Chains A and B, each alone.
Chain A
Amino acid sequence: NAGVTQTPKFRILKIGQSMTLQCAQDMNHNYMYWYRQDPGMGLKLIYYSVGAGITDKGEVPNGYNVSRSTTEDFPLRLELAAPSQTSVYFCASSFGLAERDPYNEQFFGPGTRLTVL
């Protein structure tokens, strides 16, 4: 299994440009998540999905959109890039819902480092 894969690894955008960060998992996990990690900070949840066709906002969703057309893929879209979106973005997945399985583990991808100038 490749686990959670993310592309690209690095990207520089100009203000106002748009892009899609790709995320895929091959573990047949129902739940997928997008986090951002700002320097010296912990991870903050942007969006999550509990299954194909179902997504919901996390703590910091403004400026982002997501879709989940398949179980495997969970792309994150930035429509009008702003310098405040300069961050490292991590995708993660897990099998089920925490409240039903306290041993449920989130598996993380290697991250995408995005700079908006």
Chain B
Amino acid sequence: GDSVTQMEGPVTLSEEAFLTINCTYTATGYPSLFWYVQYPGEGLQLLLKATKADDKGSNKGFEATYRKETTSFHLEKGSVQVSDSAVYFCALRGGSNYKLTFGKGTLLTVNP
């Protein structure tokens, strides 16, 4: 079945540091890939998405590129801010179904 593996947290960075959160997946067909963010006490919000190989999703300074050859969708940001502190979830949706499969989430803390 479909699965998502993302790097274990927690990740602690200083403000303006570079961020990478790794995500790899296993799926049949051609899944769509997503990064969701969950701020403290809130529900999940879609951060960015990509629906086919080599697509780059981007939003709020975050980027991720759909790499079919390495089955990866790593999240990056060049300069993190304190306000980026949150839990980040990588997810996929299989090409032929409704269901979102989530990774376990990575807690990011950014210190001033």
Contacts and interface: CB of A to CB of B under 8 A. Distances in A.
- A-B interaction: yes
Interface of A: 4, 31, 40-45, 48, 50, 58, 90, 92, 94, 97-99, 102-103, 105-106, 108-111
Contacts of A110: 41-43
CB-based closest 4 A-B pairs: A42-B102, A108-B43, A102-B51, A108-B44
Interface in B84-105: 89, 91, 93-105
B105 A48 contact: no
B4 interface: yes
A90 B100 contact: no
B100 A45 contact: yes
B45 A43 contact: no
B98 A42 contact: no
Interface of B: 4, 32, 36, 41-46, 49, 51, 89, 91, 93-105
Nearest to A6: B43
A42 B6 CA distance: 10
Contacts of A99: 95-98
A22 to B, nearest CB: 15
Given A102-B51, A105-B46, A108-B43, A43 B98 contact: no
8 contacts: A43-B100, A48-B99, A50-B98, A103-B49, A105-B49, A108-B36, A108-B44, A110-B41
